Structure 1
């Protein structure tokens, strides 16, 4: 599959959005969460039936990192399976889908509960993020955009 970072402020067709993720900031630091089986990551996940992308990200940030805040769309990763010979057109993902990225400015940090798939949250300096995150390099482009849009 081919991944492409697109720094935009307009949402794509909602039926093509496969997940939402976020870069959450408080007092100059970011929160990242350790997800069982995946390592350190940004809070995020799939959109549940009836949710908007914004509602989904607020829910995921609360469930995974125990934070609430104000969000802004940073951009998205286009996930294209056009050249993927194993792509299943009857599967759960569209031929071309999008993973949205938001910036959250945290206004409420609650006690961490460990009730969902995350085992811990840590606060990191943005410049340390590349050494901690266990995600693809396009998340670094999302961080770069998010840092540009400081409130």
Structure 2
């Protein structure tokens, strides 16, 4: 397990990576995220007001965590692919003086993480919160992602160690997927 303490706004939060093959209890999962790969490169999306990041977001009503991640990868990166569960980040608010029973998030919740092997590219339209996608060497992620920490590094290492999910079946005819 890899753990670090971070500050989100005014909140002090403990993040702990747990590699696992089963989902945590659904009512404690707050979001789904993941690393998307194509030919060994890692996709990052440039989000308005946040900068470079990997796809992910909050789970909508009647959505599974995997469906959420696939939707976020499509909305933010305009890609589809085959996914494999990596595990989850335990988000612990015990040391957060601003957390209360009325909080939108549980005192201890989970952010689920997946690895996606991209099988299909769509024309990048920037209709949602991202305005650009790039593909980088995985080792270059700290150069782009300002909130990168040891927990995200542990997840990246696990996603690289797990390897490909399946073969890529094709790309969009509009050209190179490496910049969108």
Alignment coverage as a number of residue pairs: 151
Calculate the TM-score normalised by the size of structure 1: 0.97
Select between 106-115 and 132-141 the one with higher mean Cα deviation.
Answer: 132-141
Query: Any gaps of 5 or more consecutive residues in structure 1?
Result: none
Alignment of 1:1-150 (within 5 A): 1-137=13-149, 138-150=151-163
Calculate the TM-score normalised by the size of structure 2: 0.81
Following the alignment from structure 2 to structure 1, what is the Cα–Cα distance between the partners of residues 32 and 25?
A: 14
User: Higher relative contact order by CA 8 Å / sep ≥ 6: 1 or 2?
Assistant: 1
Q: Residue by residue, what CA displacement relative to the aligned partner does 1:32-89 show, whole Å, maximum 9, x if unpaired?
A: 0011111100001000011000111110000000000000011211001112221021
Following the alignment from structure 2 to structure 1, what is the Cα–Cα distance between the partners of residues 64 and 55?
A: 16
Query: Any gaps of 5 or more consecutive residues in structure 2?
Result: 1-12, 165-180
Following the alignment from structure 2 to structure 1, what is the Cα–Cα distance between the partners of residues 148 and 104?
A: 21
Following the alignment from structure 1 to structure 2, what is the Cα–Cα distance between the partners of residues 147 and 126?
A: 9
Following the alignment from structure 2 to structure 1, what is the Cα–Cα distance between the partners of residues 54 and 100?
A: 27
Moved runs in structure 1, 4+ residues, more than 2 A?
Answer: none
**What's the C-alpha RMSD, in Å, of the aligned pairs?**
0.9
Following the alignment from structure 1 to structure 2, what is the Cα–Cα distance between the partners of residues 123 and 130?
A: 14
